[in-house]
Amino acid sequence: MARATALTPLGVAALSLLVEEPMHPYEMYQLLIARHEDRLVKVRPGTLYHAVGRLEDRGLVTATGTDRGGNRPERTTYTISAAGREAFTTWLQDMLAAPVNEYPAFPLAISEAYNLPAGVVVELLDRRLQALEEQLGFLVSGEELLAKKGVERKYWIDVQFQLSTLRAEIAWIRSLQDQLRSGELPW
């Protein structure tokens, strides 16, 4: 069996959808977009087709049939294999149990910010805060909509995680800006 840790985020998203039911890649793409999963994983139709192809090459998914509707191109429907379910479950258990440093760019940028004047850093962080506040607003309205629709909370705990991390980042940036503006943090 292929190592579960070798799964890409898009591969994991595809396997997760196939746990629900067999489907073709374009259907997967539409569902990921409809569920706003593109806030968690970078998804494009072409890359999703390639990801599913790699999963098939590794024996994690199996083609179950091809159909054609009207003038549309042929669409191959896939199902998750036993090896795919095992790889998905192992990946999920590993990622929930042990932290992994994903090397996001922002911590690196902050570590190098001393190379810019303090006023420029404060101004750039103001722009970042504006973007973060927009993301926060989107997630808050999404959370309210999901709760109003009665969607079980277990299906959107990721939204709550993202809200918590966004709020923490916003608070940290504001604190840093205050320290820079007041001179508490010499620059």
- Which residues are CB-contacts of 129 (< 8 A; sequence separation ≥ 6)? 170, 173, 174
* pLDDT tens string 84-132: 999 999 999 999 999 988 888 999 999 999 999 999 999 999 999 999 9
Are the CB atoms for 128 and 170 separated by under 8 Å?
no
- Determine the Cα–Cα distance for residues 17 and 40; give it in Å rounded to an integer: 14
Q: Does residue 2 carry a pLDDT above 60?
A: no
User: Are the CB atoms for 22 and 62 separated by under 8 Å?
Assistant: no
Mean pLDDT of the chain: 92
> Sorting pLDDT into bands at 50, 70 and 90, what band is 53?
very high
* pLDDT for the residue 1: 42
Q: Is the pLDDT of residue 3 over 90?
A: no
Average pLDDT over residues 135-142: 95
- Percent above pLDDT 70 for the chain: 94
Asked if residue 69 has pLDDT above 80, the reply is no
Give the separation between CA 20 and CA 70, rounded to whole angstroms.
26
